[in-house]
Homo-oligomer: A and B are copies of this chain.
Amino acid sequence: MITVLSGGVGAARLLRALSDVIDPSQLTAVVNVGDDLVLHGLTICPDLDTITYTLAGLNNDELGWGLRGETWRVMDELAVLGGEAWFRLGDRDLATHLYRSQRLSDGATKTEVAAELARRHGVTVRLLPVTDDPIATEFLTDAGRLTFQEYFVRHHHNVVVSSIDVVGAERARLSDDVRRALQDAGRVVIAPSNPLISIDPMLRIPGVHEILRERRDDVVAVSPIIQGAALKGPADRLLRELGHEVSTLGVVDFYEGLVGTWIIDEADAALAEAIRSRGVRVEVTTTVMADPVNAERLAKVVLS
């Protein structure tokens, strides 16, 4: 059994690659919910949805988010009405949010809803929101205090961040399922998601940091940084703004004490010795998953 600490797109790709190599039912994704939002009365879980859509083969590669073959009737009309249309929600995607919102108001948990949606889409990887309690990643920036999606979507992460807050994290309870998935897995993988805004919100929930620290030898992390740059998103910029080294080394130090094995990209092979000197194992391979052959190779290294 493998448990993968997961953000959105990068984690979804790794999970897809892993489930091409081993039985998907052997995989559990513990998924960040710090980006979740309530908009138009709807509860939206972007990371859970990205993973579900990707594993179902429904992800929209052109946009990099949402569903393929999507239409925009509702959003177009909402824009005409003068509503808040900056967070684009496709028509089919909206069905997911309507479904989840109704089930939550019926008393279901996010964990139950994630399982229902996965089942409907034929996804057999187990998807567990890291907590059923509300947590919210927020940013102190030169444009004021921003919610996650205000920062990420509305401002296109093009503001200077001075600190990141995860509201509710200290009081959030790890679900029993998540605790077991982290404690009992043969290996815990930290996906190449943004360390500061996808993984760290989960590390801040009481229990997660402690379990990884105890299991350090079984923890494998895939670096999200290649030659000082993130493949996608603001990880590199945020590392710099928050005082970390902008390289794989910066991420290694950020996760200090939690990771037994690092998987870094060939382009960063020169960093391998420096990382090993911190007392961890290092594997060097191609970490870019755009090509299916590379994705499979990476999956095999993660599992080896």
| Given A41-B102, A41-B104, 18 further pairs, Cβ under 8 A | A38-B41, A39-B102, A40-B42, A40-B101, A40-B102, A41-B42, A41-B97, A41-B105, A42-B42, A71-B73, A73-B91, A74-B74, A74-B91, A77-B92, A77-B95, A78-B95, A78-B98, A83-B95
Q: Chain B contacts of A77 at CB under 8 A?
A: 91-92, 94-96
Q: Are B82 and A120 in contact (CB under 8 A)?
A: yes
Q: Chain B contacts of A96 at CB under 8 A?
A: 77, 81
A116 within 8 A of B: yes
A80 within 8 A of B: yes
A-B contact pairs, 17 of them (CB 8 A): A38-B105, A40-B102, A41-B43, A41-B97, A42-B42, A42-B98, A42-B101, A71-B73, A73-B73, A75-B95, A77-B91, A77-B92, A77-B94, A77-B95, A81-B117, A83-B99, A94-B94
Number of interface residues of A (CB under 8 A): 32
Identity of the chain B residue whose Cβ is nearest the Cβ of A90 in the assembled complex: B73
Q: Are B120 and A80 in contact (CB under 8 A)?
A: yes
A84 within 8 A of B: yes
Nearest CB of B to A72, in Å:
9
CA distance A43 to B105 in the complex (A): 13
Q: Are B102 and A83 in contact (CB under 8 A)?
A: yes
Nearest CB of B to A133, in Å:
18
Nearest CB of B to A298, in Å:
32
Partner of A81, one of B43, B101, B120: B120
Q: Are B120 and A92 in contact (CB under 8 A)?
A: no
**Residue with the greatest number of chain B CB neighbours at <10 A, chosen from A41, A43, A73, A94:** A41
CA distance A116 to B285 in the complex (A): 57
Q: Chain B contacts of A101 at CB under 8 A?
A: 40-42
Q: Chain B contacts of A42 at CB under 8 A?
A: 40-42, 98, 101
Nearest CB of B to A44, in Å:
10
